[in-house]
Structure formats: C-alpha cells, structure tokens
Chains A and B, each alone.
Chain A
Amino acid sequence: MQILISIDDTDNLESPGTGALASRIAVDLEDNGWGTSSFITRHQLLVHPDIPYTSHNSAMCFQARIEPQSLEQVISHAAEFLTRESAPGSDPGLCVAVIDRLPESGEIIQYGRTAKESVLTKESAYELARRLGVHLSEHGGTGLGVIGALAGAGLRLGGNDGRLKGQLAFAEPGGAVSVAALRDREDIDEVRALDGSSVENRDMVRLGDKVKTVLLDGRAILLVVPAVGQSDGVRWQTCSRQQLKEY
C-alpha cells in the first residue's frame, strides 16, 4: 500500500529542523524492512499572528510503499520517534494516510490548500482525520502540529505544492547539461520552463549553485528560466532560490 507520512512543528530555534526528522523516519522505515520511501517535500503553510510557529511554519511529507501488515508498526515508530526527538517547546503532530483508503472527495487536498490561507483549529483537523480514516496524533506541547501535519499530507497528495528536500548533486556544478541528460536522472521527472515555454531535449541548461526540484503534477520538476549573461549556446539556466521561494 501507498501511504503518506507528514509531520509538523517538531523544532525550536536550536534543534534540527522538521525536515531532518522526516528524513530519519524515512530512513528508519527502510532500515526496518517495512517498505521504501520516496522524496520528502516541504509545504509552506500560512504565517499569521494567531498561528504559533518557530520561524517559517512549514510541514514535511513523504510517500512510502509498505506492506499492509507493517502499517501499525510504521505509525507506532513514527509516533514514538516524534515524542522522543522533537525539540522542547515544540508542538509536534503526525499524520499517516493510506492513499487508497482516502475517499475521492479530495477533502484532504482542500484542507491542505485551506491551511495555506486560513487559520484552522486542532479540533477541525481531528474531525476531518476521523471522517477520512487518517491517523492523526500529537506528541508533545499543545499538539497544534496536527493541523500542519494533516495539511502537509493533503498538499503532497494534491501534487502541486512545495519544494523537494535537498539539492541535486552534479559532477560539474556550474557547468551546462542537456535537457535530455537531466530528464534521464532518477531524481528529475521533468524539465519545464518557469513561464511554460517549450523545453527541448537538445537544449542546454546552465546549472546554478543550488539546484532544486519542485512538486508539480505529482512529479519532481526541475524549473528553468532563459539563460542570461553568456552567449555560449546555452538556452536555459536553473532557477535561483529566490525564484523558487513561492513553491
């Protein structure tokens, strides 16, 4: 079965971030032989005076394929891990959703979208989780992280929100690579222009210092913009951090 594991509000100013904890849960899932984990995505939620958050209010989520009999072990492990590893003063929440068991109404996706625009309550998160048959639990503090955890799962399932955790590694950082070569990589599903222009396999892409992908149409997409500053036949360059800020 395919599941989503989403966590939120696990850190403080001095501790490892929520993304680091998500990575450790994903590794543990594989090390314990429960299944295989896919990439982790970061989902920006609303920043608002009525929402307590450490510094940026983002949730982290990943999809995993596990055997059905491992589900309870995965949930128990993630819950115990968050209780043990979350930082003092944090309000951690955990969401585990079995994708095939979710109704087709798309309510969890809509919940995620709403969490980017509105202040939500813990009670409404639990109510929706109950109705959808989704695991939702809190592991310290006020437990308000359940809101972001549920929203993170919805945004990941929606497939059109967030940046993938980590940077892409290249043999020659700063060099130029063909679109065809980029599309051949396992960590890039597609190369697209930020403005929607057509990107051809023969086109060359100059690599920036930090190369990251974003989640669009449920896939890891490398966004590029027209190359500037050089006339060496390179048509595109990877997006800067600033250009990816809104994802």
Chain B
Amino acid sequence: MIASATALQESALGIDDWAEAARIAAACGSFHPDEEDEQVADEPCSCYNCRYRRWTAAAISCCRR
C-alpha cells in the first residue's frame, strides 16, 4: 500500500484508483482540497481532489514532492 505523496509520485497513481487515492491522501500532510469544481472523487480527502495533483492522460502525479 502506498503511504505518502512521495510514494504517489513514484507510483504514478492511475486515474481510477479511488480507494488508493483516498488512502494516500488520508496519510498525506500536504493534502489541500482543490476548488470544488475541480474535485472528482466522492471521498473529500483524496489525491484526486487535491490542489497539488496533476492529471495526465493515464495517471496523476503529486506536485508537492
């Protein structure tokens, strides 16, 4: 299991790993919610809803590393 944003950066979380994105964000001290219009995960605390994630076609990366 990935436990930090650093791990996220290294693992390149896919674009539909909802449970894993929530687990990583819950353990991440850098999580900051993006504006509501840019949030796509149902879990409020999720890498997919974080201001510091960056989308690519097949993954997200963490800009806080």
- Same complex: yes
State whether B38 touches A242 (Cβ < 8 A).
no
Which A residue sits closest to B57, measured CB to CB? A47
Write out the residue numbers on chain A whose beta carbons fall within 8 Å of the beta carbon of B34. 17, 55
Asked if B54 and A42 sit within 8 Å, CB to CB, the answer is no
Q: How large is the interface on B (under 10, 10 to 19, 20 to 34, 35 or more residues)?
A: 10 to 19
Number of A-B contacts (CB under 8 A): 52
A57 to chain B: closest residue by CB? B55
CB <8 Å contact, B52 and A13: yes
- A55 and B50 CA atoms in complex are apart in Å by 10
Stretch from A70-78, A94-102, A104-112, A160-168 contacting the other chain? A160-168
Instruction: Say if the beta carbon of B63 comes within 8 Å of chain A.
Output: yes
Pairwise interchain contact A58-B40, C-beta atoms closer than 8 A: no
Query: Residue on B with the closest CB to A60?
Result: B37
Q: B36 near A167 (CB under 8 angstroms)?
A: yes
- Which A positions have Cβ atoms within 8 angstroms of B? 13, 16-17, 19-20, 42, 47-49, 54-58, 163, 165-167, 209-210, 240-242, 244-245
Interface residues of chain B, those whose CB is within 8 Å of chain A, are 18, 34-42, 51-57, 63
- Contacts A55-B51, A241-B42, A242-B42 aside, 7 further interface pairs with beta carbons under 8 A come to A13-B63, A17-B35, A17-B37, A17-B38, A55-B34, A167-B36, A242-B41
